[in-house]
Amino acid sequence: MPIVTSSEPSETETAEPSAGTNDALRLRYRIRFAKRDLLRWISHRDLARLWERLLRRAQLRLSMTEGFHPKPRIAFPSALALGVEGANEVVEIELAEHWTPADLLNHLRSDEQPGLDIRSVSQLPERFGKAQLLRGIYEIQAPADTDAASVAVAIGQLMDRETVSIERKKKSVEIRLQDQISSLHYTDETLHLVMEASDAASLKPTDVLDLLGFNDWIENGASVVRTDVVLQRELESDDPLVIATASQTE
Distance CA 241, CA 101 (A): 6
Q: Beta strand pairing status for 223-231 and 85-95?
A: parallel
φ, ψ of residue 231 to 5 degrees: the values are -100, 160
Which helix (H) or strand (E) covers residue 122, if one does?
strand 116-123
- DSSP code at position 157: H
> 223-231 and 163-168 as β-strands: parallel, antiparallel, unpaired?
unpaired
Distance CA 240, CA 74 (A): 23
d(CA 89, CA 121): 12
Residues 6+ apart with CB under 8 A from 197: 78, 132, 133, 134, 135, 136
The per-residue pLDDT for range 193-217, each reduced to its tens digit, is: 999 999 888 899 999 999 999 999 9
Nearest Cα neighbor of 50 from 39, 61, 59, 60 is 39
| 17 confidence band (pLDDT: 50, 70, 90) | very low
DSSP-assigned letter for residue 81: P
Residues 98-144 have pLDDT tens digits of 999 999 999 999 999 999 999 999 999 999 999 999 999 999 999 99
Instruction: Give first-to-last CA distance, the chain, whole Å.
Output: 35
Alpha-carbon span 8 to 186, nearest angstrom: 43
Which tens digits make up the pLDDT trace of 53-90?
Answer: 999 999 999 999 988 889 999 999 999 999 999 999 99
